[in-house]
Structure 1
Amino acid sequence: MLSSLSRLTRPQAIALCALPVVALLAVAGFAPLPFAVAQPGGTADVLGKYEGKPVLKITGAPTRDTKGELRMTTIVATGPQMDVRLGDVIDGWFRTDRAVMPKEAVYPVGDNEKEVEEHNLGDMKESQDDATKAALAYLKANGVDGTDKVKVDADLGKIGGPSAGLFLSLGIIDKLDGDGSGGDLTGGRTIAGTGTIKADGKVGPVGGVAMKTQGAWRDGAKVFLVPKAECGDAQAELPKGMKLIPITTLSGTVDALRALEKGEKVPSC
């Protein structure tokens, strides 16, 4: 082989040696890779309707008519059984409205689409329960009467996962008590964001915040509530003119929204 190469010109030798690499890349271009490609998904106003149905149904206490919007955000990703090729990965890396993530980070329960959907809906149900507990505990701690009789049903269709928890809590608080002084928690604005919630009111991180800020901006939000630990990720592709407010607890989030409404200083990333 070496004697054969020695009789070739330099360009011919380089071309010959490159053939296996070209062949390998060609095969890689058609081989499925263990990645998922995500992009901004839809948003839903928890104070309004989703797919024609009220997101929040509250019984046991009078509710307020609200102004403004509280928009929970989502991402959409290639399905667990969908093949992602090298070209898709390269395209995703170079686009600001796409993100390439390991498939196991998006679908930790495997490739069965039905199991994935059931898992995500289970997470959503648990998140709804924690969101209700956190909101009612907050209201009770702040002197709002009658919370013991309140029941909440949340309906976001087939949207799964726990990342709407914070906004479900905020929606319950706004519908029952507003900003606590007769006004709206939103101040009439379109507020978007994301974050898990625990029954004790602690806000946790989620995934895909850079994609979610873009979806929020597309749907009219100029303020985005983000778990503090994910400020850096949210700033990566932040739309120009969007305000980020870092949050860690439900009570701190309400305080920040009140300050925003009054034109006072609010936390920033």
Structure 2
Amino acid sequence: MLSRLTRPQAVAVCAVPVVALLATAALAPLPFSVAQPGTTANVLGADKGTQVITVSGAPVRRTSGQLRMVTIVATGPEATVTLGDVVGNWFRSDRAVMPRDAVYPSGDDVKEIEKYNLAQMDESQHNATQAALKYLGLSAGKVKVDLKLADVGGPSAGLLFTLGIIDKLDGDGSGGDLTGGRTIAGTGTIDPSGKVGAVGGVALKTQAARRDGATVFLVPKAECADAQSELPKGLRLVPVTTVKSAVDALVALEKGKGPVPSC
């Protein structure tokens, strides 16, 4: 025969499965990735001992400033992200909790993801070369551009590759550096016509840029609000929509003449 439980006893008994449920939820894997600011690289210089941009078939000018492409680093598709990880990183300005599908749209297989990202990078480099040569009015049949950047995948360096090629071949169009000697960073995809596209993680990328000395950050115009959300002190945002708008803004900054767009 079962004895009747008092109210405190009943509450205690009921609390056991609730606590167990909460503990299980806290440890259960969730479909998220945790991202943080990654590395940056000066596309006008060398990366791991190899020049990022090599041009043949046309005179190449010496540059003094920097054009830094930026990255974010995220937990891998096979990593376990729990409720505790989500809660612990949600309110950190140097972390972002993102849906795993947004970070790894090609699936969960690591080799397939690497293959996909490298293909995206190859396409980005091809588009950057086409966009730069088209902007300069040069023939791809006469000018050859080779782009190399180790351990980086995806399309988000397209804009910076394009500007790097332009700076090496033409600068600001009058003999000066496109950068004006500054450290310029930025992000954005590029298509062969020179149109700049949006990317992810811009709030984290601005932090990586400022950490590595940038004072100006070129951001796809559609992502101004995201870039402003955690903007580091001392970093100026310049929204762009095309290669021409980016070049015009940088020339205006360099010469101190003409309007410079802002978010």
Report the TM-score when normalising by structure 2: 0.95
The secondary structure found in structure 2 opposite 1:149 is coil
Partner of 2:17: 20
Paired position in structure 2 for 1:261: 254
| Equivalenced residues, count | 260
> Match for 2:121: what amino acid?
M
Task: List alignment gaps of at least 5 residues for structure 2.
Answer: none
Q: Distance in 2 between matches of 1:235 and 1:108?
A: 26
Aligned partner of 1:185 among 178, 182, 187: 178
Following TM superposition, by how much is the alpha carbon of 1:17 offset from its aligned partner in structure 2, in angstroms?
Answer: 4.0
Conservation of the 8 A alpha-carbon contact between 2:67 and 2:185: yes
**What one-letter code is carried by the residue in structure 2 that aligns with 1:150?**
V
The match for 2:33 is 36
The answer to whether the 8 Å contact 1:134/1:169 transfers is: yes
Report the counterpart of residue 172 of structure 1 in structure 2: 165
How far residue 20 of structure 1 moved from its aligned partner, in angstroms, is 2.8
CA contact (8 A) 1:223 1:242 kept: yes
Q: 1:174 is paired with a residue of what secondary structure?
A: helix
Secondary structure in 2 matching 1:171: helix
| C-alpha separation in 1, matches of 2:15 and 2:130 | 63
Counterpart CA distance in 1 for 2:58 and 2:159 is 21
Q: Which amino acid aligns with 1:268?
A: S
- Residue 228 of structure 1 is matched in structure 2 by 221
How far apart are the structure 1 equivalents of 2:55 and 2:7?
81
CA contact (8 A) 2:133 2:139 kept: no
Q: How does 1:28-107 map to 2 (within 5 A)?
A: 28-107=25-104
Amino acid at match of 2:78: Q
Q: Is the 8 A contact 1:58 1:151 kept in 2?
A: yes
Alpha-carbon distance in structure 2 between the residues aligned to 1:183 and 1:97: 36
Structure 1 stretches lacking a partner, 5+ long:
none
Separation in 1, partners of 2:46, 2:238: 25
| More divergent stretch after superposition (26-35 vs 245-254) | 26-35
Label 1:19 to 1:181 Cα distance change in 2 as closer, same or farther (>3 A): same
Counterpart Cα distance in 2 of 1:189 and 1:120: 30
CA shift, 1:219, in A, is 0.2
> In the superposition, relative to structure 1, how do residues 146 and 125 fare at CA in structure 2: closer, same or farther (>3 Å)?
closer
C-alpha separation in 1, matches of 2:140 and 2:253: 26
**How far did residue 16 of structure 1 move?**
4.5
Q: Which has the higher mean CA deviation after the structures are superposed, 76-85 or 199-208?
A: 76-85
Check the 8 A contact 1:121/1:158 in 2, yes or no. no
Partner of 1:213: 206
- 2:99 and 2:109 mapped to 1: Cα distance? 16
| 1:64–1:25 CA distance, 2 compared to 1 (3 A) | same
User: What TM-score comes out, normalization by structure 1 length?
Assistant: 0.93
Conserved? CA contact 2:124–2:190, under 8 Å: yes
2:129 aligns with one of 124, 129, 132: 132
**Aligned-residue RMSD, C-alpha:** 1.6
| Aligned match for 1:252, one of 217, 224, 245 | 245
List structure 1 segments (4+ residues) > 2 angstroms apart after TM superposition: 12-21, 145-148
